[in-house]
Chains A and B, each alone.
Chain A
Amino acid sequence: MTILGAADSGPSCYSRFVNEWFCWQYVEDRQGQITDALVEHVLITLSALALGIAIAIPLALLARRIPRLESAVLGFSTGVYTVPSLALLPLLVPFTGLSAATVVIGLGLYALTILVRALLDGLRSVPDDVREAARGLGYGRARMLTRIEMPLALPVVMAGLRVAAVSTIALTTVGTLVSYGGLGDLIAHGVQRDFRAELLTAAVLCVVLAVVLDVLLVLLQRVLTPWTATVR
């Protein structure tokens, strides 16, 4: 049926003989496959970011108390960031196998290194006189952190989260090494088969995803820190 239809209208724009870069027909015909890859991409990215945030917050709070831990954390994060993603994933494979967990943990580590730094910078950016004023008003340590320090550190922390989110979206494609790369799997397949429409569609979707996530985070920041809106 489809073969007959294709024969009637000539080769489609993604056939091997035409192989066009832009081909809407491809997007329509492979909608399910593209959606699956897109969903996997988003899930891996969000899990990695969630993992990074979950570890970064307690780590940053601890490191702030213990100066020796802080320099260790900063040294470790420089080290992790220096290791290329294509080398980090194989190093995790013995522990997690060829699974999505490998990609999530690897990317979570990268996100963690950015987020810990952002949290430490953010908390350091809180003016000392604000802290003293809060202490004078009778704020205890916990309430000071949640009511005073965290909100004031938020702009710096959100800037870090945006960097982490955008680079995690891009890095997820490398997960194709263990066959869990979301849109990266489409790119890898596109390169192997010289399938231009598939390749370009996946690449464009990656960039679109990054932009969308970045815009969402900017909006979230506006909602969370309404007092900065007037300054900008």
Chain B
Amino acid sequence: MDGDGALMELFAETWQYLFDADSWTGGGGLVARLLEQLLLTATALAAAMLLGLPLALWLGHLGRGGFLAVNISNVGRAIPTFALLALLVAADWPGSGDFGPYGRAGLATLIALVLFALPPLITNGYVAMREVPTDVKEAADGMGMSRRQRFRRVELPLALPVVASGVRLALVQVWATATIAALVAGPGLGRIITEGFARNDYAQGMAGAVVVALVALVLEVAAAALQRAVDPMSNAASHSSSPRGVGEMSEPSTTVEEAPTGS
């Protein structure tokens, strides 16, 4: 790996690998692994949202459990994803057995993915509800809305952009963790990388990394577009039917939105 010649050769080999039909097809090929990882990511994100969001939104609505909701992100960051995956795989349950379409160590991987998706979802969901301005809530009460109406028609729409940014962070986290699953011989695209490194086939390792990184960027861009789409204020602005001055509320807090996740 020394000298420009070797470097260029490696890039050429990586290129060759990526444009070789054989590396995409077949049991352990790029397509199969990509679908496996997308399936894992979608399942885990959906499960984490079902588990975490109702809890976080409800806690935020009540204004209770804030300490837990905010600090869970710090705890999630301190636990290495690799270590948790390794513990789950080495344990008697869930172990490293095959799990339906999720492949080897599928269940262990899914559990780890859900656990690491929860902190950003819970923290952002909680903070989103807390950040709905008090005077808006009071105005809703003054208009005679019931608690339930206030929650569904006032608090939830205003909280949505910050909730969506939590989903976006969780998506990045889940994709990263699903890749790391390969370090414990789990499913997903990471296997292309680890198998390449195990066989000293660095071109394959590089090719796997390129695909993983590109899909990650595509997912992030798609999530960002989705986040803009659910922002009621940006919609209102384009329809120009909202009263003036409301736009100020939609500014998401930078500290929450940009808190990075450990991956």
- Measured CB to CB, the residues of A under 8 A from B are 78-79, 81-91, 93-95, 97-98, 110, 113-114, 117, 121, 163, 166-167, 169-171, 173-174, 176-178, 184, 187-188, 190-191, 194, 196, 199-200, 202-203, 206-207, 210-211, 214
Q: How far is the CB of A85 from chain B (nearest CB, A)?
A: 6
Task: Please pick, from A86, A114, A210, the residue contacting B190 in the complex, using a CB distance under 8 A.
Answer: A86
With A78-B220, A199-B86: A91-B210 Cβ-Cβ less than 8 Å: yes
Q: How far is the CB of A47 from chain B (nearest CB, A)?
A: 18
Residues in A whose Cβ lies below 8 Å from that of B202: 90, 93-94
Q: How far is the CB of A141 from chain B (nearest CB, A)?
A: 25
Once the chains bind, are B206 and A81 in contact (CB under 8 Å)? no
Residues in B whose Cβ lies below 8 Å from that of A78: 220
Residues in B whose Cβ lies below 8 Å from that of A176: 82, 183
Give the segment of B42-50, B60-68, B73-81, B225-233 that binds chain A: B73-81
With A84-B212, A163-B260: A90-B197 Cβ-Cβ less than 8 Å: yes
Q: List 29 A-B contacts (CB under 8 A).
A: A84-B212, A84-B213, A84-B263, A86-B180, A86-B212, A90-B206, A90-B209, A91-B209, A91-B213, A117-B258, A121-B254, A166-B77, A166-B78, A166-B262, A167-B260, A170-B79, A170-B80, A170-B262, A174-B183, A177-B193, A178-B197, A187-B82, A187-B83, A191-B185, A196-B90, A199-B90, A203-B80, A206-B83, A211-B78
With A177-B183, A187-B86, A191-B184: A166-B74 Cβ-Cβ less than 8 Å: yes
Kindly name the residue among A90, A174, A199, A202 whose own CB sees the greatest number of chain B CB atoms within 10 A. Answer: A90
Is B208 in the interface zone, CB < 8 Å from A? Answer: yes
With A171-B263, A177-B193, A194-B90: A83-B217 Cβ-Cβ less than 8 Å: yes
Q: How far is the CA of A177 from the CA of B208 in the complex (A)?
A: 13
Once the chains bind, are B197 and A170 in contact (CB under 8 Å)? no
- Measured CB to CB, the residues of B under 8 A from A are 1-2, 7, 10-11, 74, 77-84, 86-87, 89-90, 172, 175-176, 179-180, 182-185, 190, 193-194, 196-197, 202, 205-206, 208-210, 212-213, 216-217, 219-220, 254-255, 258-263
Which chain B residue has the least Cβ–Cβ distance from A156? B255
Residues in B whose Cβ lies below 8 Å from that of A196: 90
Task: Please pick, from A114, A191, A214, the residue contacting B86 in the complex, using a CB distance under 8 A.
Answer: A191
With A82-B172, A90-B206: A203-B220 Cβ-Cβ less than 8 Å: no
Q: How far is the CB of A125 from chain B (nearest CB, A)?
A: 10
List of 8 A-B pairs having minimum Cβ-Cβ separation, nearest first: A84-B176, A167-B262, A203-B83, A90-B209, A87-B212, A210-B78, A170-B80, A87-B209
Which chain B residue has the least Cβ–Cβ distance from A171? B262
Residues in A whose Cβ lies below 8 Å from that of B78: 166, 169-170, 207, 210-211, 214
Q: How far is the CB of A201 from chain B (nearest CB, A)?
A: 11
Residues in A whose Cβ lies below 8 Å from that of B260: 81, 110, 113-114, 163, 167
Q: How far is the CA of A207 from the CA of B82 in the complex (A)?
A: 12
Kindly name the residue among B83, B86, B184, B208 whose own CB sees the greatest number of chain A CB atoms within 10 A. Answer: B83
Residues in A whose Cβ lies below 8 Å from that of B11: 94
Which chain B residue has the least Cβ–Cβ distance from A188? B183
Q: How far is the CA of A229 from the CA of B87 in the complex (A)?
A: 40
With A78-B220, A81-B260: A87-B213 Cβ-Cβ less than 8 Å: yes
Task: Please pick, from B82, B87, B179, the residue contacting A87 in the complex, using a CB distance under 8 A.
Answer: B179
Task: Please pick, from A87, A93, A202, the residue contacting B83 in the complex, using a CB distance under 8 A.
Answer: A202
Q: How far is the CA of A196 from the CA of B89 in the complex (A)?
A: 10
Once the chains bind, are A173 and B82 in contact (CB under 8 Å)? yes
Q: How far is the CB of B123 from chain A (nearest CB, A)?
A: 13
Q: How far is the CB of A79 from chain B (nearest CB, A)?
A: 6
Kindly name the residue among B77, B208, B216 whose own CB sees the greatest number of chain A CB atoms within 10 A. Answer: B77
With A84-B175, A87-B179, A170-B80: A203-B216 Cβ-Cβ less than 8 Å: no
With A94-B10, A190-B86: A83-B216 Cβ-Cβ less than 8 Å: yes
